[in-house]
Amino acid sequence: MQNYNIPKMEIKLIDTEQLLEYGSEDTFTQPVFFFKGNITHLTIAKMKNMIDKKVKQNHQLHHKVKGIFLELAQNVMSYSVEYNDLDGEERVGLLVLDETEDAFIIITRNSILQEQVDTLSKQFQKINSLDEEALFALKAQITKENLTKKTKRAGIGLVQVAILSKHEILTQLQVIDKQLAYLTIAVRVSK
């Protein structure tokens, strides 16, 4: 594990709709929850419980919001290159669930290596370019490859996120320095 000098994330309070419209702001208005810190199984479990309590409009909406949140939170927990200074094992990131009049918005942010930016950009572009039928076909293909090779291939979770949300996965990659960047992901789930 390499120790990176990662600057603190700046969070400004403005309208989340701007993030969804322009993909340029990492800001929130009235979040159901907003957490920036160590992402652990316990943290994720507590937020899942908050989703269980707050997203009660209908079962299908609850299932979508929870499924997308769990996938994106697991990605932060698995792939953030920023670690807790105290123990050096727990990864650090941002998890937000915001509610607007017509949607829930799940937002995550974590630091990644610059060398991952190109690959991730292409992956998001590919996923966002596919219709629902093509997304299901891609998911089946990845699943088949995983079974054949007995490995897990990154990307199946993001495909599932796109299938569940039925909206484009919005991303922002912000360069920190020559080694690092912040990856912000925002996913909209219509009510």
- The rounded distance, in Å, linking the Cα atoms of 80 and 37 is 11
Say what the pTM is.
0.81
Count: domains in the chain = 1
Inside any domain, residue 11? no
Inside any domain, residue 145? yes
Determine if residue 88 is left, alpha or beta; phi over 0 gives left, psi from -120 to 50 gives alpha, anything else beta. Answer: left
Handedness of CA 25, 117, 153, 88 (dihedral sign): negative
Domain housing 86: 16-190
Inside any domain, residue 183? yes
Q: pLDDT truncated to tens, each residue of the chain (191 aa)?
A: 555 555 554 443 334 444 444 333 445 566 788 888 899 999 999 999 999 998 987 999 999 999 999 999 999 999 899 888 777 788 999 999 998 888 899 999 999 999 999 999 999 999 999 999 999 999 999 888 877 776 655 568 999 999 999 999 999 888 888 899 999 999 999 99
Inside any domain, residue 3? no
Inside any domain, residue 165? yes
Inside any domain, residue 143? yes
Q: What CATH code is carried by the domain that includes residue 59? A: 3.30.565.10
